Amino acid sequence: MSTHAAHTVAVRTHGVDMFFGDGETKVTALKQADFEANRGELIMLVGPSGCGKTTLLSVIAGTLTPQTGTVEVFGQRLDGLSQEELTTFRRKHLGFVFQSFNLIPTLTVLENVMVPLLIQGAAHDEAVAKARAMLEKVGLKGREYGQPNALSGGQQQRVAIARALVHEPSLLICDEPTSALDKDTGAQIMQMVRDLSRSPERCVVVVTHDHRIFRFADRIAEMEDGRIRRVVEDASLLDTNHL
Amino acid sequence: MYRLALNMLFGDRAKLAMLLCGLAFSALLMAQQTSVFFGIMSWTYTPVYNIRAPIWVSDPMVEQANDAKPMRDTDLYRVRSVDGVAWAAPLHTSFLQARMQDGNFKLITMVGIDADTFAGAPAVLSQGLIEDLRLPNTVIVDEWGAQLMGRVTKGPDGKDVVIPLKVGDTFEVNDLEARIVGICKVRRAFTGGPFVYTTYDRTKLYTLGARRTLSFMLVEPQAGVDPVKLCARIEADTGLKAWTSDTVIWSWSDRSLARNTFWWFWKNTGIPFSFGTAVALGLFVGIAVSGQTFYSFVLENLKYFAAIKAMGAGMGVIARMLLVQAFTAGLLGFGLGVGMAQAIGRAMIEKGMPPFIMFPQIFWATLALVLGISLVSAIIGIIKVSRVDAATVFRG
């Protein structure tokens, strides 16, 4: 990946087709989807339900392998990689923020944040130190040993962001990060994502329906029927009623 | 990750409690039933256990220690004449009715031992002297028999109280007086009746009418003579059957009277089947309850395992996490179950009923089975998690 350091494109998909099932039950999720996201950029994927946003996000995250087309993330071609190689790639380079937080309720806040580090094979003490530091960054110092369920929705999403960034991934994938949050909390969360991800070595892809957070995007890619319809920098150019 | 896996397990206390209950109950049922089974089965070779002689000689048709087929007294001299025999003593065993002073009858196992050598006498006497057995009409009764054959009277509260037999008390066998000169400590017999020891010659009186009274011969090899080889020589020279007296039922020795007795009861009674059913039930209950509970634990955590997969954990790591969780629960359940089985066993031993012997093999076999249950539970969970697509984490 270092050979691509000067390259500005962080994520690129080209001619990606993705369908599920076959025969009469065949559903086409992506049709020749071409997408690009740059380093240091926060880009949002928007569009109506069923347009293929989540499928494209899964393809970029390496959790789904497209039938055709190429997928490149920070210079690494994902299409053609084995499941094991994809798993290793995700472990090293990807961070995830999920719609429903996916914090493990039986673990403490600190332990939840330690998970990506431990998956990478970090020593326990090192993982504790890094997780603590990250929780401090997201404003949750003193909450380390509480259970996630004891936190508010906004606080839980902050824990999720800490977990997504603690191992310093290149690509941060956010799936509807504000859908379970009120307007102000959602704005705070997006501001935090934006601040923490501002780095030329990082890219943030956010899938969202929430037009209240469009202003945090550097660019917005609008999807329709399994392909990118257009990419805009100004959210006001989008027809939010259509989304 | 393994520490986190354990925290996930211990964090869900309700599930953990259910899981431990299933595993502990399973371990308890398997260990306790097996220990009682072996306890009862150990009673089958009680004669060999109580009477320690290197070699037992019997009629060739005898299959086990409780199956006495009387021989001629002259057979004793034939055995004594076999090269390598240091000494041979007669032994009589028979089931007789004892008439108590209150007119009640009790079934007893009469054991007649050689009055000269006392070969076959009980090793421990809690009352009396073995030499007093040489006095006329004398017997030694075991402690349980003294209790069983004791006199029942009313206590101050109106309840029945048993006054055990003691030295000096008498009862009758075949209308002949039997005067107690000793109380001994021996292991109880599977056949039920208490042991009443007397001299071999006197058994001819008590078993009035029996033409032959020689049930077994107890043989001591000369110094340096291998008991197994001597057994073969006795059989070749006399046509009788010779047995070794080791009580290791797990051995492959065809000559062990205890082992042959144990396996005779195994093959010819329904005891192994009934206890085996209880043990199998324990195993199935364990698999069903633990497997189901662990599966439900995995189902509840499925989306978190999917998230962990998406974050880059391979199936190997997740499988090991599930194995750590299942085996930890298994070990805890095993500890609780076997601990309870031991506690129940100790209480049983104090009361003497039912017998309870937890061989090390039972301990390790129960551990292996409980860990097997855990393994099955873990495999079910691993299969479920392996089928979960990491992409499901993006579907709400």
Measure CB to CB from residue A87 to each of B8, B9, B312 and give the nearest one: B312
Tell me, yes or no, whether B223 and B338 share the same domain.
no
Measure CB to CB from residue A58 to each of B307, B308, B394 and give the nearest one: B394
CATH, domain A2-237, list 3.40.50.150, 3.40.50.300, 3.40.50.10090, 2.60.120.460:
3.40.50.300
- Distance CA(B381)–CA(B375), nearest Å, equals 10
User: Is residue B6 domain-resident?
Assistant: yes
What value does the CA radius of gyration of chain A take, rounded to a whole number of Å?
Answer: 18
Nearest CA among A69, A9, A43 for reference residue A222: A43
**pLDDT attached to residue B230:** 93
By C-alpha distance, the chain A residue nearest B2 is A118
- Distance CA(B152)–CA(B150), nearest Å, equals 6
Phi then psi dihedrals of residue B242, to 5 deg? -115, 140
Best residue of B1, B2, B3, B4 to probe chain A, by most A CBs closer than 10 Å: B4
Which bin fits B203, alpha (ψ -120 to 50), beta or left (φ > 0)? alpha
Tell me, yes or no, whether B69 and B150 share the same domain.
yes
By C-alpha distance, the chain A residue nearest B313 is A119
- Total of domains in chain B: 2
- Distance CA(B152)–CA(B145), nearest Å, equals 14
Positions of E strands within chain A: 9-20, 27-38, 42-46, 68-73, 76-77, 94-97, 171-175, 203-207, 219-224, 227-232
CB A208 within 8 A of CB A180: no
The pLDDT-based confidence of B110 (bands split at 50, 70, 90) is very high
pLDDT of B149 > 50? The answer is yes
Nearest CA among B213, B196, B180 for reference residue B144: B196
CA dist A186 → A3, A173, A216, B182 (Å):
37, 16, 11, 92
User: Is residue B254 domain-resident?
Assistant: no
Measure CB to CB from residue B314 to each of A84, A96, A100 and give the nearest one: A84
Residues contacting A36, CB < 8 A, separation 6+: A9, A11, A12, A13
pLDDT tens figures, B298-346: 888 888 888 888 888 888 888 999 999 989 999 999 999 999 999 988 8
By C-alpha distance, the chain A residue nearest B395 is A54
Tell me, yes or no, whether B23 and B59 share the same domain.
no
pLDDT of B203 > 50? The answer is yes
User: Is residue B311 domain-resident?
Assistant: yes
Give the range of the structural domain holding residue B308, as residue numbers without chain letter.
Answer: 2-42+271-394
Tell me, yes or no, whether B123 and B14 share the same domain.
no
Residue entry with tokens 């559903």: A27
Give the distance from residue B331's alpha carbon to the nearest chain A alpha carbon, in angstroms: 21
Bridge-based pairing state of the strands B105-113 and B195-199: parallel
Tell me, yes or no, whether B286 and B173 share the same domain.
no
Q: Which tokens sit at A120?
A: 């990478």
Interchain CB distance below 8 Å, B4 and A87: no
Query: B376 burial class (0-12, 13-18, 19+ CB within 10 angstroms)?
Result: middle
pLDDT tens figures, B366-390: 899 888 888 888 898 899 888 887 7
Domain boundaries, chain A: 2-237
Interchain CB distance below 8 Å, A102 and B11: no
Average pLDDT, chain B: 87
Residues of chain A in contact with residue B1, where contact means CB-CB under 8 angstroms, are 115, 118-119
Beta bridge partners of A38: A9
Q: Which tokens sit at B186?
A: 């021996």
pLDDT tens figures, A43-52: 999 888 888 8
Tell me, yes or no, whether B74 and B222 share the same domain.
yes
Tell me, yes or no, whether B215 and B174 share the same domain.
yes
Tell me, yes or no, whether B54 and B37 share the same domain.
no
Tell me, yes or no, whether B57 and B180 share the same domain.
yes
Nearest CA among A104, A107, A66 for reference residue A226: A66
**pLDDT attached to residue B279:** 79
**pLDDT attached to residue B380:** 87
**pLDDT attached to residue A238:** 66
Which of B211, B246, B281 is the last residue before a domain boundary?
B246
| Per-block mean pLDDT, blocks of 10 residues, chain A (243 long) | 56 89 82 88 88 88 88 87 88 86 88 91 91 86 88 86 87 84 80 79 88 87 88 71 58
Residues of chain A in contact with residue B3, where contact means CB-CB under 8 angstroms, are 124
Nearest CA among A89, A237, A79 for reference residue A173: A89
**pLDDT attached to residue B247:** 73
Which of B212, B246, B280 is the last residue before a domain boundary?
B246
User: Is residue B260 domain-resident?
Assistant: no
Nearest CA among B88, B80, B92, B142 for reference residue B117: B88
Measure CB to CB from residue A98 to each of B10, B307, B389 and give the nearest one: B307
CB A208 within 8 A of CB A221: no
At A176, the amino acid letter reads E
Residues contacting B362, CB < 8 A, separation 6+: B31, B34, B35, B38
Element (H, E) at A180: none
pLDDT of B209 > 80? The answer is no
Give the distance from residue A114's alpha carbon to the nearest chain B alpha carbon, in angstroms: 9
Tell me, yes or no, whether B329 and B281 share the same domain.
yes
**pLDDT attached to residue B168:** 92
Tell me, yes or no, whether B174 and B287 share the same domain.
no
Q: Which of B63-67, B75-79, B280-284, B348-352 has the lowest mean pLDDT?
A: B348-352
Measure CB to CB from residue A119 to each of B7, B312, B395 and give the nearest one: B312
- DSSP 3-state percent helix, strand, coil across chain A (nearest 5): 35, 25, 35
- Distance CA(A17)–CA(B15), nearest Å, equals 43
CA dist B89 → B76, B77, B308 (Å):
7, 10, 76
Element (H, E) at B56: strand B55-58
Tell me, yes or no, whether B230 and B291 share the same domain.
no
pLDDT of B29 > 90? The answer is no
User: Is residue B258 domain-resident?
Assistant: no
